[in-house]
Amino acid sequence: MTPKQTLKRSIVFFLVPDFTMIAFATALEPLRSANRMLGYEAYRWRLASADGRPVRGSNGVECAVDTSLEDERRKMAGPERPSMVIVCSGLNVEKYQQKSVFAWLREEYNRGVAIGGLCTGAHVLAQAGLLSNRRCAIHWENLPGFAEAFPKANVYADLFEVDANVYTCAGGTAALDMMLKLIGDDFDDNLVNRVCEQVLTDRVRSPTDRQRLPLRARLGVQNSKVLTIIELMEANLAEPLSLIEIADHVGLSRRQIERLFRQEMGRSPARYYLEIRLDRARHLLIQSSLPVVEVAVACGFVSASHFSKCYRELYARSPQQERVDRKQLMAA
């Protein structure tokens, strides 16, 4: 390599069972494209797993790896030590309990290695104790359970977050945006634009762009007042607002709100509010080990019995059965 052709980063992608292939691929491909655009190997990577064996992704495809955790430990003190480790995970991350992996991540971080997480990778980093008082991002579907399990982490529904030497992204194509930012930090916008052209994307999204579709598109609702009310509801699940409080906030009467919700949502505002609280409860039951009574409180229910009654009416099973069914599915 000439002086200008220096290795910028050597990266270990650590694969966790059921990792999300799209996040992994969209993190890796920009590096390959950047090398191609530059004409030399500015980025180098290898794949690792706990035991050095292939890892099956959530789509059922097995991915061969280059090294094991034991191999990576041997490399830590030598010239092959990476400058960055990125944890790739996805489904069922809540059951991943590998203390040796958590210890290795801490050791790498303490040696100055940047640490990252794709999709639900933030969960693994939090288990390793690396996200206390740090900003992080995780897939929106996992955010409620993550926030309850790791209250010291500052989690956001952003596409990605960079806090000092820790990188996290929500998964999916957000991995592309995070890696394009990294390439831009290492080089310049010109290289980023060339990589964007190569992978057929027209822009780099900002960290705070939405993970999910805007409410207008997601729900097919056009009425701005109804959208404002729904946003209020989603922001106040643990301590639900009364209809009078909502009415005062949006400048409508209770009767007007009732009529609008019947027209736009096909049910009363109280019923819709209940459904989104129960949806959050379902995510917490699936993703966390919180007692049912704590799930109930976190979703604005005054008693576990009332919560169980409402849950059974909507989902035709009790919260306890929901959790049992989930455990059986994960064990299968």
Element (H or E) spanning 275, and its range?
helix 269-287
Tell me the per-residue pLDDT of 8-39, one tens digit each, with 9 for 90 and over. Answer: 899 999 999 999 999 999 999 999 999 999 99
Tell me the per-residue pLDDT of 114-143, one tens digit each, with 9 for 90 and over. Answer: 999 999 999 999 999 999 999 999 988 888
Domain range annotation of the chain: 9-199, 215-329
Q: Which of 128, 120, 129 is nearest to 100 (CA)?
A: 128
- Integer Cα distance of 13 and 167 in angstroms: 13
3-state secondary structure of 169: strand
Burial class (CB in 10 A: 0-12, 13-18, 19+), 211: buried
Beta-strand pair 43-49/67-68: parallel
Q: Residue 34 has which token pair? A: 């950047």
As a whole number, the mean pLDDT across the chain is 90
CATH number of 215-329: 1.10.10.60
- Integer Cα distance of 176 and 209 in angstroms: 13
Do 9-199 and 215-329 fold alike per CATH?
no
Per-residue pLDDT of the chain (332 residues; tens, 9 = 90+): 544 678 889 999 999 999 999 999 999 999 999 999 999 999 999 999 999 999 999 999 999 999 999 999 999 988 999 999 999 999 888 889 999 999 999 999 999 999 999 999 999 999 999 999 999 999 888 888 888 889 999 998 889 999 989 999 998 999 999 999 999 999 999 999 999 999 888 777 888 776 765 666 667 777 889 889 998 998 899 899 999 999 999 999 999 999 999 998 999 999 999 999 999 899 888 877 788 999 999 999 999 999 999 999 999 999 999 888 776 665 55
| Tally of CB atoms within 10 A around 15 | 23
Q: pTM of the prediction?
A: 0.77
| Residue 48 to residues 15, 45, 114, Cα–Cα distance (Å) | 6, 10, 16
The architecture that CATH gives domain 9-199 is: 3-Layer(aba) Sandwich (3.40)
Task: Say if CB 148 and CB 205 are below 8 A apart.
Answer: no
